[in-house]
Amino acid sequence: MNPYRTWPAALALSASLAAISACQAADALTDAMQAAYVPYRAALFRTNSKAQAESEQAMAQARQAWADIVARYARQPPAPYDRDAALVGTLAEVDAVYAAAARQIAARQLAPAHETLERARDLMSDLRRRNGVVVFSDHMNEYHEQMERVLGEGPAQLATMQGAQALLARVGALEYLAGRLHSEAPATLKANPEFAPLQQQVQDSVAVVREALVRQDLAAARAALDKVKKPYSQLFLKFG
């Protein structure tokens, strides 16, 4: 069995993302959403790292930034969102997710808050997608989705050689998506001296897993899996 047989689906999805629009936004609402994404990323990162005070601060900033977006754009959104009948509902859904996460953070339930906040990422991504807008964050989200599959199912698959072959196919797709984080990055990111090393660390972490699987060294592959998430989290916090 060719372990790379499932690559085409990931390749097609990435190609469709790239074809929808340019990576850089050209409308005020998308730009505002990207600016508001900064404290949101911080809230995701801080809740995941169990930092209570930092989580509270980042969540407060994210909620304020989103409230500003609702106040400015809910009634008169710019193109292309002015044709989206579901826009107001989506903006309200994100606000509700933030409110729920804020309550969980206040109750010191940081792990549940992190899971709650993940929903906002999906809502914002879907909002852009259905309006034909693609930003670098969408490529980060695509990588993240595949990474979660690999990390969630990988340990069990490593129990057998047949499972390891299936994992190799998924890791191959993940390595491709890691490369897209470089090829699809806008010029402003590529010009930032911090971006290339962080992106390379993401790509290298996946390559180590793939190489271990190719050698059929399941113990090394298992150890390498444990080191995949941290480089992504660091890139996401700064640029995602």
The set of residues, in sequence order, having a beta carbon less than 8 Å from that of 132 and lying 6+ positions away, is: 20, 21, 80
For the four alpha carbons of 158, 163, 167 and 169, in that order, the dihedral sign comes to positive
Q: Is it the case that residue 162 has pLDDT exceeding 50?
A: yes
pLDDT tens, position by position, 102-135: 999 999 999 999 999 999 999 999 999 999 998 8
Would you state the pLDDT for residue 228? 96
Would you state the pLDDT for residue 25? 52
pLDDT tens, position by position, 83-97: 999 999 999 999 999
The position carrying tokens 């390379």 is 200
Would you state the pLDDT for residue 152? 93
Percent of the chain with pLDDT over 70: 89
The set of residues, in sequence order, having a beta carbon less than 8 Å from that of 180 and lying 6+ positions away, is: 14, 139, 142, 143
For the four alpha carbons of 32, 34, 35 and 39, in that order, the dihedral sign comes to positive
Would you state the pLDDT for residue 236? 86
Give CA angle at 200 (199, 205), nearest 5°. 105
3-class DSSP state of 76: coil
Cα separation, 223 vs 164, in Å, equals: 14
Give the least confident one: 12-26, 84-98, 190-204, 210-224: 12-26
User: Across all residues in the chain, what is the average pLDDT?
Assistant: 88
Would you state the pLDDT for residue 13? 36
Q: Among candidates 110, 115, 126, which has minimal Cα distance to 33?
A: 126
Cα separation, 58 vs 9, in Å, equals: 36
Q: What fold does the segment set 24-130 form as a domain? A: Four Helix Bundle (Hemerythrin (Met), subunit A) (1.20.120)
Question: How many CA atoms lie less than 13 Å away from 122 in the CB half-sphere?
Answer: 8
pLDDT tens, position by position, 29-84: 999 999 999 999 999 989 988 899 999 999 999 999 999 999 999 999 999 999 99
Would you state the pLDDT for residue 104? 97
Would you state the pLDDT for residue 91? 97
Q: Is residue 3 within 8 Å of residue 168, measured between CB atoms?
A: yes
Would you state the pLDDT for residue 215? 94
Cα separation, 7 vs 132, in Å, equals: 24
Class of domain 7-19+135-239: mainly alpha
Percent of the chain with pLDDT over 90: 79
What stretch(es) of the chain map to CATH 1.20.120.10?
7-19+135-239
Q: Is it the case that residue 149 has pLDDT exceeding 70?
A: yes
Cα separation, 56 vs 5, in Å, equals: 45
Would you state the pLDDT for residue 26? 67
Position 5 confidence tier, pLDDT thresholds 50, 70, 90: very low
Joined together, the tokens standing for residue 35 give 């600016």
Q: Among candidates 236, 240, 238, 186, which has minimal Cα distance to 26?
A: 186
Would you state the pLDDT for residue 11? 36
> Residue 134 carries which DSSP code?
-
Phi, psi of 99 (to 5 degrees): -65, -45
